[in-house]
Structure 1
Amino acid sequence: MLRFASVVAPQSCLLLLATALAATASPASAASSAQRAAEAETYLAAIARLDDSDKGPQLNAVIAANPAAPAEAARLTGSGPLDGRTVLIKDNIETREWPTTAGSLALAANRTNRDAPLVARLRDAGGVVLGKTNLSEWANIRHSPSTSGWSAIGGLTRNPHAIDRNTCGSSSGSGAAIAAGMAWGAIGTETDGSITCPASVNGIVGFKPTVGLVSRTHVVPISASQDTAGPMTRTVADAAILLSAIAGSDPADTATAEADTRKADFSQGLATASLAGVRIGVLTRAIGNHPGVSKVFAQAVADLKAAGAEIVAIDFQPDSSMYRDESFVLRYELRRDLNAYLSTLPGTGMPRSLSEVIEFNRANADKELRWFGQDTFIAADKITDADAHAKARANSQKLAGELGIDKLLADNNVALLVAPTGGPAWSTDLVSGDRFLGIGAGSLAAIAGYPHLTVPMGAVEGLPVGLSMMGAKWQDHAVLKAGAAYERARTAVLPQPRFKRWGEQHSK
């Protein structure tokens, strides 16, 4: 595993973890500069112990850490809504301190010395950039099937709840790091499932906002139609605070033209949000047939009802052409958008096109292509039909949005849609790749570009699973309020990371 910076392990602070978590649990919490510095030291110690030490589980969640974070946290206490809190950044988002690699050795020297606008906003809001997180290489778009959580830069990310289980992708390091207590919050990115899936299987909150609420400038792209960054935290309230900090318009990203008028203090109203009388649509076909997930989801629905929600069962299956056309859109836009990003990178020796990345991988096949190939890259590099792209994009977005989420909300007179986010984490298998169970409906929100929140709802044999909540475009605040209300109503006991192999935990 390649690291960009060594972590300075503090001499003390391991006993401060409970204090650190308590101090950051509420948007109303106040902290002194000494407390914020101590929290940052605690998080650095957790990284050193759980990520770096050969005596620990070696989660491989964090690839670069900031030893100056405690001093920065002390200095920024009282500065803006983030108030000196620490945030880890997924390594496809540019930060001025380190290279931005997307997990690929082809970009190992991609030190742009600039912040993505969302990172600049985070700093302006008083946030401390604690480090960068590992990810599924190239945000899991290089090959199908792949093994989520693996990159040539960071190695294989391990799930804190069961280190032989997968972290899902592509924001795998962000999900694992927050679950393991390595930062107050993290930023992930999603094209389809890459925030919500790792949040679900790692037992944390993940929020994919409406596409266009957060800038994508200086973020290694897949698809201008579906890419977005979003918060990954331990609570919905913390996700709302972090989203409030990073949301906003960016002249360089035309999709964000409305963001300044749509953004808000998303933490407002969460503490008192109620589900009483709220009609919620349950996507019954998205529940799947895993008995453990079905049982946990049934308890979550019962909790929603106990909190006063009116549950409406909805039998819905998207037209299969939605998925077909999404695949075409992502491949077309991967070539177009990645070429544009690479062509403008400062410095020398960088690949300037997807074709050059493909050739780099071939030339370095022993390091880059041992575990899975690059068939998606190769296919995408040949797709240039703009008319076919326009038709596919129009159809997939119409089926997911107008004829999908919008129609389901209107026809059933419901405020939001819920389903399990996915199944429990599967055993990681670098030889055979990922094994998904066909549970969930997150592609609807991903393709439409609508908000999607996942909140922990319990566990299957100690493995976390999440509850998805999806709403209409720009209804980010409403979805977050519903998630906060569910958190308070939740009766399930949530699992805590044990940093062992699953069999070691459940052999008796």
Structure 2
Amino acid sequence: MSDLTQLTIAEARDRLRARDISATDLTEACLSAIDGADRLNAFVHKTPEIALERARAADARLGQGDAPALCGVPLGIKDLFCTEGVASQAASRILQGFRPEYESTVTRQLADAGAVMLGKLNMDEFAMGSSNETSTYGNAVNPWKRQDDAADLTPGGSSGGSAAAVAAGLCLGATGTDTGGSIRQPAAFTGIVGMKPTYGRCSRWGIIAFASSLDQAGPMTRTVRDAAIMLQAMAGHDPKDSTSADLAVPDFEAMLTGDIRGKRIGVPREYRMEGMPAEIEALWQQGAAMLRDAGAEIVDISLPHTEYALPAYYVIAPAEASSNLARYDGVRYGHRATLGPGEGITEMYEKTRAEGFGPEVQRRVMIGTYVLSAGFYDAYYNRARKVRTLIKRDFETVFADGVDAILTPTTPSAAFGLGEMAEADPVQMYLNDVFTVTVNLAGLPGISVPAGRDRQGLPLGLQLIGKPWEEGDLLNTACALERAAGFVSRPEKWW
């Protein structure tokens, strides 16, 4: 039974349609794996009753012979997605007890496609973090270990629970959200595929907001083909989201030919950061060689404003967060502080937010409020917006020159130990996003593909960045890289 949890989405779909396995058996296998993996702290709200009910409904649809690709496929849902009647806390104490009376557009579309929700997944509080150490549920744990070292490692963040669950075989795929790398970085740390689509490709309605101009939902899976299948169900226009693009969703899976002959792949010279580990540089060169061997032309490119991306991001994202998180005040839902004699509404706001938000969220709200304040708006926020425009223009210039995709490392290192950066300067943690934030600032699609392992046996990922709305072409290039890299490693079970 446990072997069923190792199936890819594509394999499960084919076997379900052939009636070789049932959705109920597959779901029960995943639920059993989840119950045996509490040590990873990936699933924080288990929903076995909902899962089995949807599995039985999927079996009925499969029996009628007209089932979508995800029908009967068990998935995990990041705790940032509102799910009707199921706790949706964004891993924050301030939303304790919140059970929405509505369903996010993305999770509703997945349910309509027959997918089975196994439960809600751990994450950094309000998606603010790169290590899944800011969660009210406690740390999620990477299923990978360093060689000859029992220390717990981070699965990355903010979608750390999603990454850990997929890598450990607890679910066949999971939803993630990406504001500055929160799908791609944890995917690289856990040896899976993570895709951030073009901004506007997937509806943000019903996803608890962090930074509204940067947030985008995407799939986290074991293979590129699975990412294509899952994105197909997640994407599409939503009139409830004013930033949702009214564009047809192509058949992403059908575009996976693996043929990239004649494609021009750019390698940006500005991504060669000072102090970058030799292993990351070597992997990057190997990735370029793999794509060249597959028939692509590798070209040197320049993205001159890259060095300003991280500071611009850490002005814009906290500014939007301070605005979005102003609604959490203890009045209508979630945590409310207990007041003492003579205390009124002002004290309730202050105490509720002080108790409900963790230190990292408080830090970013304070930064955001500062850069939006009257005396500093032009000096910080407006300047950051101008830099964002320049970064976007850099990409537009490169793509206009005939480049089809851009190859970079996903992260500046492999997964680090939980607690290793906790006492460090917060900026050191923010540097984990150095290769990924530009994609969000420019609204582009990006994907992380597992491509190798470091000397301690931990997975490393390579990132491909594509043209806006051309996820199909990007997935095809990623498919070619995946085939060439041949990464099939899975963590040894220790939990």
TM-score, normalised via structure 1 length: 0.83
Within the candidate set 191, 196, 210, 1:208 is matched to 196
Write the letter of the residue equivalent to 2:45: A
Helix, strand or coil at the partner of 2:185: helix
Aligned counterpart, 1:375: 363
Tell me which residue corresponds to 1:449. 443
Of 325, 328, 332, which aligns to 1:338? 325
Root-mean-square deviation (CA), in Å? 3.0
Corresponding residue of 1:266: 252
Question: Does structure 1 residue 72 correspond to structure 2 residue 54?
Answer: yes
Identity %: 30
1:338 Cα deviation from its structure 2 partner: 2.9
The reply on whether 1:419 has 2:408 as its aligned counterpart is yes
Give 1:231 shift: 0.4
Code of the residue aligned with 2:297 in structure 1: it is: E
Flag the 1:166–1:317 CA change in 2: closer, same or farther, 3 A. Answer: farther
- The alpha-carbon deviation at position 467 of structure 1 amounts to 1.0
Taking the aligned partners of 2:290 and 2:206, their CA distance within structure 1 comes to 41
Q: Aligned AA for 1:273? A: G
Which secondary structure does the structure 2 equivalent of 1:255 belong to?
A: coil
- Supply the distance in 1 between the matched residues of 2:211 and 2:175 (Cα, whole angstroms): 18
Cα 1:297–1:355 change in 2 (3 A) is farther
Corresponding residue for 1:467? 462
1:281-313 per-residue CA deviation (whole Å, 9 max, x = no partner) reads: 112442443112222222222211111111112
Q: Specify the SS of the correspondent of 2:29.
A: helix
Query: Is the 8 Å Cα contact of residues 454 and 466 (structure 1) preserved in structure 2?
Result: yes
Q: In structure 1, how many angstroms separate the alpha carbons of the residues matched to 2:118 and 2:227?
A: 17
Q: Which runs of 4+ in 1 moved over 6 A?
A: 343-346, 353-358
Counterpart of 1:279? Answer: 264
- 2:23 pairs, out of 3, 14, 36, with 36
How far apart in 1 are the matches of 2:135 and 2:172? 26
TM-score, length-normalised on structure 2? 0.85
* Structure 1: unaligned runs, 5 residues or longer: 1-12, 53-57, 142-146, 502-508
Query: What's the offset of the Cα at 1:88?
Result: 0.8
Matches for 1:4-23 after TM superposition, within 5 Å: 13-18=1-6, 21=7
1:482 corresponding residue in structure 2 = 477
Match of 1:4 in 2: none
Tell me what 1:398 maps to.
Answer: 389
Structure 2 CA distance for partners of 1:17 and 1:215, relative to 1, 3 Å:
closer
Gaps of 5+ in 2: 146-150, 338-344
Determine the structure 2 residue equivalent to 1:226: 214
Q: Which amino acid aligns with 1:470?
A: I
Indicate how the Cα distance of structure 1 residues 345 and 266 shifts in structure 2: closer, same or farther if over 3 A, else same. Answer: farther
C-alpha separation in 2, matches of 1:285 and 1:381: 31
- Alpha-carbon displacement from aligned partner over 1:476-508 (angstroms, at most 9, x marks no partner): 1211111112222224x443212559xxxxxxx
- Which residues of 2 match residues 148-159 of structure 1 at below 5 A? 148-159=131-142
Match of 1:184 in 2: 172
CA distance in 1, matches of 2:384, 2:191: 33
Q: Number of paired residues?
A: 464
1:230 & 1:265 partners in 2: Cα distance?
16
Change (3 A) 1:357 1:223: farther
Tell me if structure 2 keeps the 8 A contact 1:319–1:399.
no
Task: Report the counterpart of residue 40 of structure 2 in structure 1.
Answer: 59
Q: 1:165 aligns with which of 153, 170, 181?
A: 153
Task: Give the equivalent residue in structure 2 for 1:102.
Answer: 90
CA deviation map 1:304-323 (0-9, x unaligned): 11111111123444254443
**8 Å CA contact 2:74, 2:118 repeated in 1:** yes
